């Protein structure tokens, strides 16, 4: 039963033939490389070079039951900083010698549908970078004993590790910053997704306000786009009691807020302070110059991969949830003390 060979027709057998050794020896040269004489190793390498031989990773995976592939799961990205995160994960994984299988679903599709397909490829682990969806994917990974780490979100009690920004604390810090600058009419504009991130930002903000005796914070929820922010701000600023400070759970709607304020003649930061979240590159642009909470993305990625790879090496490593502090970056859109 002869079949059409793979595109790269050269296999370890042919290298073995040319080098005058057995296939096993060729294999050993290209994998561990233990207990080989310098001479044969060199002969094999020469033969391989001549034939332009590259080990077939598929065959290797089948034999070792390790694919060296990480599944990178992402749902529709409402947040413009997600793509950068994917890019960063991919590069870092490449550096560490892994390949990345990308799984991404649209706004209305469910990533969960794709999981079985991906598991079929025997990925060694999963990084889950997704807001709304992916609850089932998490459970399923856990059930299968497939190492997985959630990024930017957590699921307590699920047994799945997670790395996230300390959103609750950041929310409190923003509240404090506003209050110390004597703002008293506060508003919160929150994202669409009912994720731990959004819940915690709001909770931290509102709770801290309450602790310091400021109640009745106005809220606009389900806002995650520029236009949504524009409209929400328009409503708020035209209302009977317009806020003098707005905390946006994401930068994108914060830009909309700033443009709405300008269009309504509300001066920033004199009449209105605005603080966003994420610190995407646009936050530095001159018309916005947005004060915002920066997520320590680089570090979060690093920790995520540490946890994941450790779990892959050592199947019985426990699950961990790590919160990394956000940094309030003070620019011009908020009137704050110091």
User: Which residues here bind its own copies, judged by CB under 8 A?
Assistant: 3-8, 54-59, 61-62, 65, 67, 69, 72, 76-77, 80, 82-84, 86-87, 90-91, 94, 99-106, 109, 114, 116-122, 144-146, 226, 230, 255-256, 259, 262-263, 281-282, 285-287
Give CA–CA dist 283/296, Å, rounded. 15
Q: Is residue 65 near DNA by the rule CB under 7 A?
A: yes
Q: Is residue 1 near DNA by the rule CB under 7 A?
A: yes
Report the SS3 class of residue 10.
coil
Of the candidate residues 28, 153, 294, 335, the single one contacting DNA (CB under 7 A): 28
Q: Which CB, 36 or 101, lies closer to DNA?
A: 36
227 vs 36, 66, 203, 293, CA distance in Å? 65, 46, 24, 21
Look-up of token digits 């929400």: 232
Of the candidate residues 18, 33, 49, 62, the single one contacting DNA (CB under 7 A): 62
Nearest distance from residue 200's CB to its own copies, in Å? 26
Give CA–CA dist 1/38, Å, rounded. 37
Return the beta strands (E) in the chain as ranges: 69-74, 99-104, 125-129, 148-151, 161-165, 186-189, 218-220, 245-248, 273-278, 291-294, 321-324, 327-329
Which residues are registered as beta bridge partners of 128?
Answer: 73, 150
Q: Which does 30 bind (CB under 5 to 8 A by kind): its own copies, DNA, none?
A: DNA
Q: Is residue 25 near DNA by the rule CB under 7 A?
A: yes
Q: Which CB, 62 or 102, lies closer to DNA?
A: 62
Q: Which does 24 bind (CB under 5 to 8 A by kind): DNA, its own copies, none?
A: DNA
Q: Which CB, 104 or 158, lies closer to its own copies?
A: 104
Binding mask 33-52 for DNA (x = CB under 7 A): --xxx-xxx-----------
Give CA–CA dist 190/198, Å, rounded. 7
Q: Which does 105 bind (CB under 5 to 8 A by kind): its own copies, DNA, none?
A: its own copies
Contact 93, 99 (CB under 8 A): yes
236's tokens:
């708020």
Report the SS3 class of residue 83.
helix
Span of 3-11, 157-165, 223-231, 329-337 interacting with DNA by CB under 7 A: 3-11
Span of 32-40, 130-138, 223-231, 250-258 interacting with DNA by CB under 7 A: 32-40
Q: Is residue 60 near DNA by the rule CB under 7 A?
A: yes
DSSP annotation of 15:
H
Q: Which does 194 bind (CB under 5 to 8 A by kind): DNA, its own copies, none?
A: none
Task: Determine the length of the chain.
Answer: 338
Q: Which CB, 80 or 296, lies closer to its own copies?
A: 80
Of the candidate residues 33, 42, 46, 63, the single one contacting DNA (CB under 7 A): 63
* Sign of the torsion angle spanned by Cα atoms 95, 97, 101, 103: negative
Q: Which CB, 20 or 281, lies closer to its own copies?
A: 281
- The span from the first CA to the last CA of the chain, in angstroms, equals 79
Nearest distance from residue 194's CB to DNA, in Å? 38
Q: Is residue 12 near DNA by the rule CB under 7 A?
A: yes
Q: Which CB, 100 or 166, lies closer to its own copies?
A: 100
Report the SS3 class of residue 187.
strand
Q: Which does 145 bind (CB under 5 to 8 A by kind): DNA, its own copies, none?
A: its own copies
Crossing angle for the helix pair 226-238 and 251-263, to the nearest 10 degrees: 50
């Amino acid at each position: 039963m002869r079949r059409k060979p793979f595109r790269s027709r050269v296999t370890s057998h042919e290298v073995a033939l040319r080098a005058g050794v057995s296939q096993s020896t060729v294999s050993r040269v290209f994998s561990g490389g233990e207990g080989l004489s310098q001479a044969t190793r060199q002969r094999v390498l020469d033969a391989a070079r001549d034939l332009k031989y590259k080990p077939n990773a598929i065959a290797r995976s089948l034999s070792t039951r390790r694919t060296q592939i990480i599944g990178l799961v992402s749902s529709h990205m409402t947040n413009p900083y997600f793509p950068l995160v994917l890019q960063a994960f991919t590069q870092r994984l490449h550096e560490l010698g892994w390949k990345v299988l990308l799984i991404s679903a649209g706004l209305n599709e469910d990533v969960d549908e794709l999981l079985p397909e991906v598991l079929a490829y025997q990925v060694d682990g999963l990084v889950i970078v997704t807001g709304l969806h992916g609850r089932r994917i998490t459970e399923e990974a856990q059930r299968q004993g497939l190492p997985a780490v959630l990024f930017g979100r957590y699921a307590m009690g699920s047994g799945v590790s997670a790395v996230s920004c300390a959103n609750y604390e950041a929310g409190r810090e923003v509240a404090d910053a506003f209050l110390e600058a004597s703002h008293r009419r506060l508003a919160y504009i929150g994202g669409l997704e009912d994720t731990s991130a959004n819940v915690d930002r709001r909770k931290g903000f509102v709770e801290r306000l309450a602790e310091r005796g400021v109640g009745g914070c106005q809220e606009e929820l389900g806002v995650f786009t520029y236009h949504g922010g524009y409209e929400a701000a328009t409503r708020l600023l035209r209302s009977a009691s317009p806020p003098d400070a707005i905390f946006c759970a994401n930068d994108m709607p914060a830009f909309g807020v700033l443009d709405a304020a300008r269009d309504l003649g509300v001066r920033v930061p004199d009449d209105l302070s605005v603080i966003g979240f994420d610190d995407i590159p646009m936050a530095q642009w001159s018309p916005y110059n947005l004060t915002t909470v920066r997520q320590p993305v680089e570090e979060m990625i690093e920790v995520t991969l540490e946890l994941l790879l450790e779990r892959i090496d050592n199947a019985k490593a426990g699950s961990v949830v790590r919160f990394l502090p956000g940094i309030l970056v003070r620019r011009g859109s908020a009137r704050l003390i110091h």
